[in-house]
């Protein structure tokens, strides 16, 4: 005579739990959104930025890819090179920056410390910024959001 199986009730219980887990309503999740942090511009129109060894342009630890400015206004850029390697910070069209055209406004290559320059946004754009040291521009660039 066959012995009764004591594992059958446990197996049935596991199947019931598995089915319940698959058919229970999922917990709603909030989709991940990529919200660009707002770049801080103080009342005197000073924009503080950091150029890093990770080939990023940051403000307060957040990567910057867009900077809001107002057409006709003059801004002071205070840029810190914390990388201890060569970076520059230039303003121009994306085409000029990507081909490293000379004579663009900004800060020429330096290795460490903080430099400043002023720039007046006379035109409605488009206008970009970035580091044109060879190999850097693909990762270290952004655009100005020029408001009238």
Q: Per residue in 3-13, pLDDT tens?
A: 555 544 544 44
* Mean pLDDT computed over every residue of the chain: 83
At 145 the three-state DSSP class reads strand
pLDDT at position 73 over 80: yes
* Pair 47, 123: CB distance under 8 Å: no
Upstream peptide bond of 107 is cis (omega within 30 degrees of 0): no
16-52 pLDDT, tens digit per residue, is 444 444 444 444 444 444 445 678 888 889 999 999 9
88 and 107 in contact (C-beta within 8 Å)?
Answer: yes
In the structure, how many helices (H) and strands (E) does the chain have?
Answer: 2, 10
What is the pLDDT at residue 51?
98
Instruction: For 104-120, write each residue's pLDDT tens digit.
Output: 999 999 999 999 999 99
**Spatial contact of 127 and 93, defined as CB atoms under 8 Å apart:** yes
pTM: 0.74
Question: What is the predicted pLDDT for the residue at 4?
Answer: 52
CA distance 94 to 101: 10
């Amino acid at each position: 005579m066959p012995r009764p199986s004591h594992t059958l009730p446990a197996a049935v219980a596991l199947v019931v739990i598995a089915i319940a887990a698959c058919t229970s309503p999922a917990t709603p999740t909030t989709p991940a959104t990529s919200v660009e942090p707002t770049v801080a511009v103080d009342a005197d129109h000073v924009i503080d930025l950091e150029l890093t060894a990770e080939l990023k342009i940051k403000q307060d630890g957040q990567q910057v890819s867009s900077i809001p400015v107002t057409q006709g206004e003059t801004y002071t850029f205070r840029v810190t090179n914390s990388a201890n390697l060569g970076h520059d910070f230039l303003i121009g069209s994306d085409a000029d920056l990507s081909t490293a055209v000379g004579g663009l406004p900004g800060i020429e290559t330096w290795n460490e410390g903080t430099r400043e320059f002023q720039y007046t946004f006379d035109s409605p754009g488009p206008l970009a910024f970035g580091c044109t040291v060879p190999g850097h521009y693909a990762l270290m660039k952004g655009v100005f959001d020029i408001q009238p």
